[in-house]
């Protein structure tokens, strides 16, 4: 099974500053998809951004962007101009493109935004 590793259990950032959350994964597949999900305290998990492995261009969604390094199997999330509402657990997820479309989640990074 694929494994997803988030090595930073906790991170903090000053409001309006930039923070980068790390994620690495292990796979032998060539067809896969990567996601970052956000889970605010006691609230629903929502998608932040996705990246198709076959695309070389890094995905961007407003203040959120990724640095996808396929050879290194790295998929980090950059949050620019951090806002108080960005405080949440962030989960990196891998989805197989071949074998049953299973999702594999990392253990999460808890982001604190300091006013």
Partner 1 sequence: EAGVAQSPRYKIIEKRQSVAFWCNPISGHATLYWYQQILGQGPKLLIQFQNNGVVDDSQLPKDRFSAERLKGVDSTLKIQPAKLEDSAVYLCASSLLGGTYEQYFGPGTRLTVT
The residues of the shown chain that bind partner 1, judged by CB under 8 A, are 31-33, 35, 37, 43-47, 50, 52, 91, 93, 95-97, 100-108
Cβ-based nearer residue to partner 1, 93 or 111: 93
Cα separation, 10 vs 56, whole angstroms: 29
- The least CB distance from residue 111 to partner 1, in Å, is 14
Query: Any idea what the Cα angle at residue 36 is, between residues 39 and 28, rounded to 5°?
Result: 135
Cα separation, 106 vs 100, whole angstroms: 19
- The least CB distance from residue 73 to partner 1, in Å, is 17
Cβ-based nearer residue to partner 1, 16 or 46: 46
């Amino acid at each position: 099974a694929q494994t997803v590793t988030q090595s930073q259990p906790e991170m903090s950032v000053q409001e309006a500053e930039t923070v980068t959350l790390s994620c690495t994964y292990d796979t032998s597949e060539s067809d896969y998809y990567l996601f970052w999900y956000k889970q605010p305290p006691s609230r629903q998990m929502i998608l932040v951004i996705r990246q198709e492995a076959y695309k070389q261009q890094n995905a961007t969604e407003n203040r959120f962007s990724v640095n996808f390094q396929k050879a290194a199997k790295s998929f980090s999330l950059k949050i620019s101009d951090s806002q108080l509402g960005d405080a949440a657990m962030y989960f990196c997820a891998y989805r197989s493109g071949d074998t049953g479309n299973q999702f594999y989640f990392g253990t999460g990074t808890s982001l604190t935004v300091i006013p």
